[in-house]
Structure formats: C-alpha cells, structure tokens
Structure 1
Amino acid sequence: MYGHQRAGLFPSNFPQFLASGDGALIRDVDGREFVDFLLGYGPMVLGYQNRVVEEAAQRQRELADCQNAPSARMVELAELMVDMVDHAQWAYFAKNGTDATTTALTIARAATGRAKILVERASYHGAAPWCTPGTAGISAADRANIRYFDYNDLPSLRAAFDEADDDLAGVIITPFKHNDGVDQELIDPAFARELRATCDRKGAVLILDDVRCGMRLEMGSSWANLDVQPDLSVWGKAISNGYPVSAILGRDSLRDAAATIFSTGTFWFAAVPMAAAIATIQELRAIDGVRLQRRAGDRLRAGLVAQAQAHGFDVSYTGPSQMPYLRFHDDPEHQLSFAFSAAALDNGVYLHPRHNWFVSTAHTDAVIDRALEGTDRAFATLAAKS
C-alpha cells in the first residue's frame, strides 16, 4: 500500500480495508464497526451515504458522467460557488486538492510573469513534487522556486518576502496551521493583514488553501470573518461529500491568467461529482451545516478534555471544534497518541494519532455520546498501563 491511507501509518490494530459507511459509522472487511472521526480525511461532511447527495448523483449518473464536454452541472456549480464566496468571480474545476493547489500556483505565475512562491514550512498542500512531504524521487529543481516561512511569525514572513524579492509570484497558506503531529494554531489576524498588505505592495497573488477547511469553518472562505480576502482560494474534500471534484476560485483580475494556462485531466469535467457538489452545498446551507459541525465538535471537545483530566492525562486539544487535534504532553514520539488511538479503536472509535480529526453533520448527540463511551474506556486502558 502507498500514500497516506496505508495502514502502516497507524497502530497495528487498524484495518487496511474498509467495507461500508453509514452516517458517521464505518465498518471494516472483518465486520468491526467504528464511530469515524477521520471521514475519508475530511470529505464526508454530511456523513456516509447521505440521501440528498446520493440521489442527486444517481439522477446525473442516469444521464451521463464522463463525456466529450462538460454538462450544465459545471456552470451551475460555478455559479453556486461564486455566489457563496465573496472574493470569487470565476471558478476552475479539477479533481483533487493537489490538482487545485498546483493549478493555483500556475495561475499566479501566469498572472505575474514571476516564479517564486512562499509556502509555510511543513504545511501540507498535496503530493506534487513542489509540495509532497516525501523526498524520494524529488529533485532540487522541483523546489528551486519555493521559499519558506513560519506560521504567524512576522519576521520569518518578512525574510521570505525579501528573499523572493522581485521574482515573487505568490504566497499559499492554509486558513489555520494544521500540520501533522503538532498543536493546531489559528491565524493571527495581524499576520493575515500584513500578509495581504505585502502581497498587494509587491504585486503577488495571495492563495488560500481551503481544501481541508472549506465548508467546515464557514460556508464562504475560512477567512470570511477576517477583514482579509485572498486573490485565489482552492477547495476540495467537503465540497462534494466524497465525490472527486476540487475547485479554484478567483478574483476577476486573475480571470485572463486562468484562461491562458493549460491544466486539465480526462475526468476533471465528469458530471456526477459536480451534481454531488451542488447537492452538498445546498444541503449544508439548508441545515446550517457549519453550526451542526461546530455543535458536535464542542460536545466532543468537552467530553474528551474532561475524560483526560479525570484519568490523569495532560493533553492539548487544539484547532476549531469541527477539526480538532488531541496531543498528549511529554509525548514527543507520539507513543501515547498511538496507544490511545489503538485503545479507542478497540472500543469502537476511529481516531488518527497524528492527523487532525473531523466531525460531520451526521455526528448527532447520540453518536458523540457513543464515541465518548469508547474514548473513556480507552483513557482507562492507558491509565492502567501507565
């Protein structure tokens, strides 16, 4: 197995193959059932087999999916997303997050005629050579035009701007720091404002990588509540509740640049995923999905923090409630995190030991309470061994 879904990255009791999902529950090929807080690494914002999304996908499937040209669903989805996101005047669709982030960089370079891109150190933006966390098969030339800064560190950001000098095409950044295995960190508004102002002054393109966070923190961009707007934003995961589609949204000033690049794929224009995305966005709006995710996440946070304290564990619980991450203090090698995830799985709860978690609108009070029963037993198992 390869990539981020190989079971070797998890404790040994985690399944390599899953059989089915329903709401917030998943089952492996051996028939074990778990409350899922990874959700396919984020896409299942409405839960598995959501009726509204699956019916929309099936209606389109009965017409056509992959054809010689896109269906009208492409226009409908573009209009829906542009209407939803304040900084957007056009949409450009792809298949997954790496497609979208890489296309956004290409647009920034086409618009500016420059090469260098600033990237937060250790941030994840996909699996292309310019950004993949693995280094096997990657040459120095693949990253020759990438410069790095530290999240919320203004001196580091200023130094990166200076290093790029007059060859700066753009900056790509996540809405908040959600790097693997470390505490999550919300954006400092002052950092975001200076980032925006410096991009304006230098004529660089500000790209917000909302692939992981989009439609979880806000229905508009995840910086909708900041007085900061990006020039481009990239979307994936939750926008289609598990169907393969991603998007780049941009300002009108970048429309011509987006039209000049050549970025495409055989399946990029498939209609079924776009129909699923339309249904997902409409359903999230209809049920106030962000509020439901936040409510479920708040319930999970309160329960886990209380359990950790009751069992004598010192933990950090960081990030938005919709996308939390629990880390044990004095656990630099993540041994306690792995032991806790293994014990939780034995008690019916699927938690990643290093990646942030996700909640969905399908995580009802009853589902959260069921999960907390399992995590309480997991904490007790850990305490008995320590």
Structure 2
Amino acid sequence: MSGLDEATKAVFRYRRPEPWCWEVVVKAVCSGTHAGWEADHAVPQAGGAVAADADLIAESLGRRSAYTDELLAFALAGMGDLRALPVLRRLAAANQSPYDRPHARILATLPAAELLPVVLPVLRQEPERYHSSTALLELLALWGPAASPAVAEVIRHLGTAHTYDALRVLGRIGAPAVGAADRLAAYATGRVTPAHPYRRRAAWAHWKVTGDPTLALDVCGAAVRSGTASHGLPFLADLGPLAAVHTTPVRRLMESPGAWTRTYAAYAYWRITGDPEPAVPVLLAQVDPAWEGSPAMPVRQAVHHLGEIGAPAAPAAPLLRGILAREERLSQPFAGVRILADRAYVRTLTAALEGING
C-alpha cells in the first residue's frame, strides 16, 4: 500500500489520524496529479483538520486544473478562509454553483456578507435548476437572518419544485421576510395547491416572519392530533410554551412506536413545559453508542436535544463522553460526505456535553 493510500484510508476511517496523513493527502491533491477519488473527496470535507496546510492550498489555486481548484476552494471555504472566493465567483459565473446540500454546508462556514454577492445572481437566473437551487437554498437557511438580502430571490422559488426549501429559508430569515406573509398564509391554509406537505412548514414560517403564532398553533397542533405527528412536533417544539394547549397529545406521543416521533415528542414536551423529567429518559434511550450514522435512527438529534436540556440531562454525560472518545468515524454515510457527517456528529456531542456541564 502506498503512503497516499494509507493516508487516505486513515483520514476516512479515524477521527484523529496521524498528522502526516492529512499532509500527504493535501499535497497529493494540490499537486494536480491523479490522487484518487477518495483523496479528492476527503480534502473538501476536512475543515480545520487541514488548517496547517491552508497557505499551501491557497497558493495552489490557479496552478492546476479547474477541477483541482474547485476541490481546494471548498477546502478553504470549510475553514472559513476567504481565499476561496475568487474560485467560487468563477464557478458561479460559469453556472457551476454548488449542486448538493453537503457542498452548501461547507460553504456556510464563510460569512454571508462575503458570499451572498456570489449567490444572489445565481438565484435570480436559475429558479428551476433543481440541484443548484436546492443547494443554495440550503446555504441561505443555514445562514438564517444573515441571508435577509436574498428574500426577494427566495420568494421567487415559491411555486416551484423548491417550495418546501424556500419556506424553510423564509422562516429562518424571520422578520425581514414579512413581505411574504400573505403567501405563507395561503400555503398554510391550503389556498395554494398542492397544500400537502407544505402546510405545517408554511404555518411555522408565517409565525417566524410575523410573530403571530395563531396559524402555526392551529395547523401544527392539528397535525399532532391527526396522527401525522412527526410532521408537526418540531414546529410545536419551536413554539415552546406558546403551544401549551397541545401538551397532552405531545406527552402521549412520547410512547409512540416510531423512534423519530418519540424523539420529537420528548423534545417538544420539554420545550413546551420546561419539565425535563419525562423527556430525558426518552431521548437518552435513542442514543445508541454503536450508531454508525444511519439516517433511520435519530441519534444525533437526541444528543443535540439532551445538550439543550442541559444539567438535568447529566445522566447522559458518561455515554456521550464515551462516544466522543471513539477513534473511528461513522461508517454508514456515503464516503463522499462521511468525514463531513462525522465532524457534524463530533460537534453535536461536544456542544451537548458543554450544555450539560453548564
């Protein structure tokens, strides 16, 4: 096995590989030689793990192929390094904007004020390009209120294949998107077809932009009472004590046979009532120490919610510390996003322990 092969396998498999491993992988990609699929996909996901090589990465831009430039620009973006911007501008000008959600999550590390001028022209030109628009809307949602200059462009995506994502972005932006309130109400009340599955998201977004919870309480509460509980619970959780009228059905759903529904219900119950006692055991039961990243299990969400609860979730701390200490990464996510997914899980575990420890 060559040194590059060994290094590449190590950075994909281990959370804390030997420092030389990342150095070898970065140098191979920067050289423009055929480093291999794994190395090419590792470097953009690396984030701070390649901070020591940031100057080498930046100096290599423009010296190799456009493909290599793209890989290296995403590596810089994942560190929040603004030296990625010239390449990202060129990609946008060539209609080669990020095309999937993982790319958007890497770019979200960059300041919105710096990258929005790159993103806005693409959103104006391409509301029907599914992959590009999906990724860019994901990016705006991650930025939240900082994406407020994009409200007009986001509204243009209502009524397209990207409606659900556009609703999420408008809700995340909040009050600066109040101009969309009437359209959000139309989706929430079913005046726009197809109403499903947008009604709950639209009602939640209406609350976030207007500050009036009436529509969200009605639509999301009805979902919880109707048996489509998991689709309404996250929004009731966000409403918190405002959703007190729905406490009883939420409490009942903590015994649902579905793991996702139990997790959402436990979190919503705590957010609504402030009572952690029944919620913590339900959430803790979802934290499988052997979890390998399967999206069928709400492990990361349960960890996040335990961290939000804080000190009353102290019984979870030893388990979370043990998971965080594991050497091997999650193995179930597709290799092209495995490092990214594992880094996100590590951040969630770390933040949860900080929340529990106060």
Tell me whether the two structures share a fold, i.e. TM-score over 0.5: no
For normalisation by structure 2, the TM-score amounts to 0.26
For normalisation by structure 1, the TM-score amounts to 0.25
The higher relative CO (CA closer than 8 Å, separation ≥ 6) is in 1
More helix by share: 2
Larger Rg, first or second structure (1 or 2):
2
